[in-house]
Amino acid sequence: MSELVPLPVVVPLLGAALTLLLDRWPRVQRTVSVVALGTNLVVALVLLTWAYRHGPVVTQVGGWPAPVGIVLVADQLAALMLVVSSAVTLCVLLYSIGQGRGETSESAPVSIYHPTYLVLTAGITNAFLAGDLFNLFVGFEILLAASFVLITLGGTESRIRTGSTYVVVSLLSSMLFLTAVGLVYAATGTLNLAQLATRLDALPPAVRLGLQLMLLLAFGVKAAVFPVSAWLPDSYPTAPAPVTAVFAGLLTKVGVYAIIRTETLLFPGGEVAGLLMVVAGLTMLVGVLGAVAQSDLKRLFSFTLVSHIGYMIFGVALSTTAALSGAIFYVVHHITIQTTLFLVAGLVEERAGSTDLRRLGGLARVAPLLAVLFFVPAMNLAGIPPFSGFLGKLGLLQAGVAVGGGLAWVLVVAGTVTSLLTLYAASRVWNIAFWRAPQIATAEPVTRLPNLMVGATAALVVLGLTLTVAAGPLFRVTADAAADLRQRTPYVRAVLPAGTP
């Protein structure tokens, strides 16, 4: 089974090279991209099934054994992230094909969308599978390099301006991450995550805390955690709809994944639990307050994206098995739902010519299917029973109540308030854009949306509903993954040969 572990990275890279060579044959290029991401989804499902039944699957790249060589590890957490990210990237790709994104044009004389999108996918999967800090850094840099191209696709003034902000922030966080990697190696003599789990405990507490805070800050920027989240609402809304959707669904979650992995495997003592709780609460409240003040659909969704990152950090801060299970469940839920909502925003823009709420209205009457595609994930995000958003929030709030203490109770209240304000923001969009009388849009609207765009969005809506129906089995997987994270032993034993210091 170990031969399958590199495929989620290798297949998109090979597909990227092939699609670049096939830029004169768009139909073949699209087929290669779909096959590559479809293969990733199948492989991810196989790896998740195996990891759940038998434990982590490990590949020593190049035959060099750990801790010397590069290690790719597919434990339950990594495999689950692979499954949901593969499903989302495939649906977004189909949506972009329906939109005509990636075709050769005067603004893009070479069809670079498909190669760049596949490279982005490879970076995401490499980050999830990385078994050492430097390879995790490489995964981040691969996906960031691709994202620099995608966020400025089309070369409009607004995209170049906001893309420049995104590039500067990303480079600064990468420099901080690389500095932290160098300091970790200087202090421990290794970057292998499994070996670090055994060596970091021997460091002086002050050194260990300093390394932990540096990594947290670097990952916090990438995850858009308050107060280092101001860049996101200005950067994401200007990109093309499928690009914004995959960024919102996955790029911030790679940062969250890195926080979960390092806080449980490398720094399990909970030294910064209080700090994480404060950050989680502020992220939730500041993000949702920003959302209710917005008059543009994409900016509103960008602020809700920031806000709901706070729920995941809340679970990491509590650090119990139930809390981590809830956090992992919520990551899966949020990847799916937030991506869906940004795709819906793209459909609204395609149908009405604008995402400015002041210029929208009557969409429920003229486009009832679009109204359903918005309503279901919006209520899911707000946490209305019995959707997966409600179940994930309930798991996290129950974990907070079980832990007790002043900060935990404050976070329980903040989480509840955030959910209610999210419902208010979603209801406001519904009332203005879908329910009230039609308004004048900024561009000539279309009368019929492309079937592939609608179908891809509907597939993600169905996936979100599937998370609700299959919440029981999914919670068993996340609980198992959380238990393994807290024990650390299954991961360390799978990676390191017996007797490795």
Cis peptide bond N-terminal to 386, omega within 30: yes
Q: Write down the H helix ranges in 319-433.
A: 321-352, 363-366, 368-382, 388-403, 406-429
CB-count burial class (<10 Å; 0-12, 13-18, 19+) for 426: buried
Whether 334 is in a domain gets the answer yes
Q: How far apart are CA 256 and CA 177, in angstroms?
A: 14
Q: What is the pLDDT of residues 428-471, one digit of tens each?
A: 999 999 988 776 554 445 567 889 999 999 999 999 999 999 99
Q: Flag whether 501 is in a domain.
A: no
Say how many Å lie between the first and final Cα of the chain, rounded: 27
How much is the pTM? 0.93
Average pLDDT rounded to a whole number, residues 126-134: 94
Q: In this structure, how many other beta carbons lie within 10 angstroms of the beta carbon of residue 73?
A: 25
Q: Is residue 45 part of a domain?
A: yes
The total number of structural domains that make up the chain: 1
409 vs 269, higher pLDDT: 409
pLDDT at 295 over 60: yes
CA dihedral sign of residues 25, 83, 225, 144: negative
Give the pLDDT confidence of 180-214 residue by residue, as tens digits. 999 999 999 999 999 999 899 889 999 999 999 99
Q: Positive or negative, the Cα torsion across 466, 470, 471, 476?
A: negative
Determine, yes or no, domain membership for 79. yes
* Domain membership flag for residue 500: no
Domain that holds residue 334: 2-495
